[in-house]
Structure 1
């Protein structure tokens, strides 16, 4: 297989480049080297978009929640507060329209891309093949920046070209285009770019992180799926959303053909990815692993599909260059020495109970649908036994619902009594386990996490080799933007919507389930579900695919976007978010769910507001509905 990338050190060196403040464009494009530096500047905004605290798909999904009563500010927590109803038109949170979030300014990035395309013929020593490739890369970047804005705002401004230097103030006040027009423009840019992008990156040392054909095709598949989804495809909630001239800004009629176009794009992307050697990660890792059982190897394989180094991960289609920098917030304090790090790395990224209960039983069906599972008594304490020793500490009392779960649950969720392999220990017999009850204790192998207010950790976001002991030593990884398993499920979703249940729909769901150690979806529902016929209808299979994606891609910054395009986020956030009774030491009292957040999310929150100031300055803008 051709290597997909190289190390994170090199990628930071390569693409973390911003153009200097040059005096003239002629200087910036006087030769190939200067123009390449400008190309890297076009990439730079996208690279800075990898910080998950500024990603609405991550912070508003309710997969991970964050306390808002801490005296210390470890990072900008505003994105996590969005589910508390703090958004406003006066000062929008994650305000990408108003000029930038963090190090990101999308409109500036689009201006830079246009400048690049308008001056690409100036470097006299830039060869034709390389010029063609650079043009394709910049068109991809323009498409991605526009697409990111569509997901947030719906109708957007199309920045197709640069403003003239002598442009009148009135001409600068552009109008929003409809969502159909915006999606069409994004797809047209991708279609222009894809033929001229390289199949793979041959020069790993110098070109890691640049866009390939299979990356662009996978993004196109996601764009078309988003356009076909309920939020954007004939959404009745926006039937009266018009601009000041009376033009409809949302499609008012459902178009079923959009799903088939999306399915075709998904299949084309899968074919290209597999042709370049990509496949599901299915080899148990060996680094930092001593004597472990086959059962634990399956867990480590699932974890490594996300946290493995990019160059060794055949499943990773696309990520951005900066490593995931928040492992210190997701690893519990497993040793007494690690307590001293609590003020710097407080382990306070908490998972609500609803998220941990989303994962299937070991029969591959939901907890409340497994006819063999005692759902009503799932909070009852039960002692860890030999049959579950690879996942739960023997002799330790934990909730019944932690037993007999699917492998992805144990790979993704850290819970009271759960085995946490790694953290400097290489043999399973000596592995740490999470002891979260009575978290204010000062001795013993406790998890000292007074700020993890649910008592549940997003284990998936910690590399098993990362260490939190007397020192903090994380093993860097790149959080995926697109994995092959996600693309498989995207194809299953779009094909089911276009054609209903077919052999290919089941096949691509089962590719992901098989890697997770589960039976096929039809067999699981037939043998264990209380509703065995659900898998045989388009509507029933839709629900199953949605849950499958939420499980497979949990904590990866995908679910929040999915729930938005499905118009299901309001339903998810209509219920209180709960955790365990963390101040209690006894299992009988600990396993009593406590409400930690009552989310506030209304119909208006599916689209971001444009700030009042921007609407005043540009009277051609129409505010998003319900704001």
Structure 2
């Protein structure tokens, strides 16, 4: 039996070797070896790209828990639709309904099942590269230094991905030999602080030998640069400093089989100091290369548009602009974002007749619509000039809102007099959807979900491809993407790469770290206000002093923390970032205590009935859900592992 356990555990950490072997089965006699894999520069470079391969799959938002479990987007319940568009991709979204389990965990990055990637396999692949790269012949010293730095970054990032999900993990500092003893094979989970320190060490070793910019962007896009590594280091250190991992009393008594505490329950303020310094170093490097917040420059084929619409396009294109034109994208993965049709409403009759091609399933809950600020830059519940109590009543698009809402169109007051990021992020009944093949603002299409004359094109129609809240994540659709505009055969999708890190994210992360270290200082306000000003808003102090019912909120560390958290949730909405933020802040539990609601989407002809909030479901989230469970099978194979608390 002991021999059986040893073999099974070895298999878990040897899968990478087998995968690499399959990848390398290129010799005539089908006996590829590591010596062959590193015998020349070309073969070694192929192995380098194999180390990148797991990273590229993380661009698939359905594999990103930060996207699927943030409650920014929900999908139709199977009882509402004829068939599913997402298939196994529904697993992550269904976590909101309490489907996680220990038998077959969803999004299982420990074992590589349930939409998860086998991340330990990815780390082992990196170890094999680092342990064998010296064998490669004809490799320039500068190339070797760069490649080693890239793989150290990847190894660090793969460890970090696991720590975010599982907390304490086994650290794979080197490859296990094939003849490893049972004791060596039965790895143990190491304390969270040890894991974060190891990740930081790898990044510090990698950063000096990474290029500031890609020597050949056209052929090397997606490879790691120094700005990427510095920005991700800042993110990692901020995560390590945050309440989930820094002084979390929920994990008091959580120990390994050897009795070692896996979480430190005492908060260490020095962690925020390190995060603050890392953010500043990343910002200085990015700005030194000329990076700045993106601003939309109207191309020649676009007619006259208002400043307000230009601002919406700036905020929308900060995510969907082509990478070479996006001045604030620090890191984006190579694969193109493939879910635009899931975020797109049917805007014309041709979209209705070709309903199979416009999925329209990504639905933003009403809580997301209520999260954005008013046009005055403060929360809707605090703006003394905005009628919060009448937010569900029906108003009418007017001249003041004409760049955002069809003039004269009846829509909820919730959709009127909001900040520009509201209109850049959300499509809704009556909301203007500029682009989509139209180049003049005067002829822009708008969303119709309820109508008495048969033009509710965005409504459920066939109950196959439906939106169940009345809000679409417009931010995820390039404004020039068109589907069936004038006939049944016109399809043009303008591809883009969803950023993993952009400058606005880094600015707000720096402001957060400054506030945690020094409280509400001028520097903290400066970096928040840079982002707010780009969104057409005044600074925090001016907005709260003039319009908030709680004007002094920003003057305390706790008050400014609340403002910064909401600012990040607004600015980074739908980008796969907020779910991770809510976890590290330990705020996801409170967010998911609110029912998932939307408009009454089945009422396509009765406007009063449509604008009645309805509850879709009550999310299920407990303290145990902050960390993923390890599968029962993995615990059986390796008795040195302990399960996460609550599982």
Q: Could you say if the C-alpha distance between residues 167 and 288 of structure 1 is closer, same or farther in structure 2, counting changes exceeding 3 Å?
A: farther
2:281 is equivalent to residue 268 of structure 1: yes
Q: Could you say if the C-alpha distance between residues 18 and 465 of structure 1 is closer, same or farther in structure 2, counting changes exceeding 3 Å?
A: farther
Q: Does structure 1 conserve the Cα–Cα contact (< 8 Å) formed by 2:152 and 2:203?
A: yes
- More deviation in 502-511 or 581-590? 581-590
What is the aligned partner in structure 2 of residue 35 from structure 1? 44
What is the aligned partner in structure 1 of residue 24 from structure 2? 20
- More deviation in 119-128 or 583-592? 583-592
What is the aligned partner in structure 1 of residue 193 from structure 2? 180
1:289 CA displacement: 2.2
- Using the alignment, how far apart are the partners of 1:21 and 1:370 within structure 2? 64
Q: Secondary structure at the match of 1:86?
A: coil
1:253 CA displacement: 0.6
Q: Secondary structure at the match of 1:357?
A: helix
| 1:525-604 to 2 correspondences below 5 Å | 525-584=544-603, 585-604=605-624
- 1:426-477 deviations in Å (ceiling 9; x for gaps): 1000001111125xx8943621445211111101000000012234321101
What is the aligned partner in structure 1 of residue 3 from structure 2? none
| 1:73-472 to 2 correspondences below 5 Å | 73-75=84-86, 76-100=89-113, 102=115, 104-286=117-299, 289-437=302-450, 443-444=454-455, 446-449=457-460, 450=463, 451-469=466-484, 470=488, 471-472=490-491
2:71 is equivalent to residue 67 of structure 1: no
- Using the alignment, how far apart are the partners of 2:298 and 2:522 within structure 1? 32
Tell me the TM-score normalised to structure 1 length: 0.95
What is the aligned partner in structure 2 of residue 476 from structure 1? 495
- Using the alignment, how far apart are the partners of 1:374 and 1:464 within structure 2? 31
- 1:239-262 deviations in Å (ceiling 9; x for gaps): 111111211001111111111110
Q: Does structure 2 conserve the Cα–Cα contact (< 8 Å) formed by 1:19 and 1:37?
A: no
- 1:358-390 deviations in Å (ceiling 9; x for gaps): 000010000000011110111111111122111
Q: Does structure 1 conserve the Cα–Cα contact (< 8 Å) formed by 2:105 and 2:114?
A: no
1:27 CA displacement: 0.6
2:522 is equivalent to residue 492 of structure 1: no
- Using the alignment, how far apart are the partners of 2:300 and 2:477 within structure 1? 15
Aligned residue pairs: how many? 609
What is the aligned partner in structure 2 of residue 617 from structure 1? 637
1:569 CA displacement: 0.2
Q: Does structure 2 conserve the Cα–Cα contact (< 8 Å) formed by 1:285 and 1:300?
A: no
What is the aligned partner in structure 2 of residue 9 from structure 1? none
- More deviation in 24-33 or 462-471? 462-471
1:100 CA displacement: 4.5
Which sections of structure 1, spanning at least 5 residues, go unmatched? 1-16
2:68 is equivalent to residue 55 of structure 1: no
Tell me the TM-score normalised to structure 2 length: 0.92
1:183 CA displacement: 0.2
Q: Does structure 2 conserve the Cα–Cα contact (< 8 Å) formed by 1:285 and 1:301?
A: no
2:619 is equivalent to residue 608 of structure 1: no
Q: Does structure 1 conserve the Cα–Cα contact (< 8 Å) formed by 2:296 and 2:313?
A: no
What is the aligned partner in structure 2 of residue 626 from structure 1? 646
1:590 CA displacement: 1.6
1:60 CA displacement: 0.4
- Using the alignment, how far apart are the partners of 1:363 and 1:308 within structure 2? 27
1:345 CA displacement: 2.8
RMSD across aligned positions (CA): 1.5
- Using the alignment, how far apart are the partners of 1:396 and 1:18 within structure 2? 59
- 1:576-601 deviations in Å (ceiling 9; x for gaps): 01000112223322211000121000
1:559 CA displacement: 0.4
Q: Secondary structure at the match of 1:581?
A: coil
Q: Secondary structure at the match of 2:501?
A: strand
What is the aligned partner in structure 1 of residue 4 from structure 2? none
- Using the alignment, how far apart are the partners of 1:102 and 1:582 within structure 2? 30
| 1:481-520 to 2 correspondences below 5 Å | 481-520=500-539
Q: Does structure 2 conserve the Cα–Cα contact (< 8 Å) formed by 1:281 and 1:313?
A: yes
What is the aligned partner in structure 1 of residue 15 from structure 2? none
1:101 CA displacement: 5.3
Q: Secondary structure at the match of 2:505?
A: helix
- Using the alignment, how far apart are the partners of 2:303 and 2:202 within structure 1? 49
Q: Could you say if the C-alpha distance between residues 102 and 472 of structure 1 is closer, same or farther in structure 2, counting changes exceeding 3 Å?
A: farther
- Using the alignment, how far apart are the partners of 1:400 and 1:149 within structure 2? 43
Q: Secondary structure at the match of 2:134?
A: coil
Q: Could you say if the C-alpha distance between residues 492 and 170 of structure 1 is closer, same or farther in structure 2, counting changes exceeding 3 Å?
A: same
- 1:558-583 deviations in Å (ceiling 9; x for gaps): 00000000000000000101000112
1:216 CA displacement: 0.1
Q: Does structure 1 conserve the Cα–Cα contact (< 8 Å) formed by 2:296 and 2:317?
A: no
Q: Could you say if the C-alpha distance between residues 133 and 530 of structure 1 is closer, same or farther in structure 2, counting changes exceeding 3 Å?
A: same
- Using the alignment, how far apart are the partners of 2:116 and 2:24 within structure 1? 16
Q: Does structure 2 conserve the Cα–Cα contact (< 8 Å) formed by 1:28 and 1:35?
A: yes
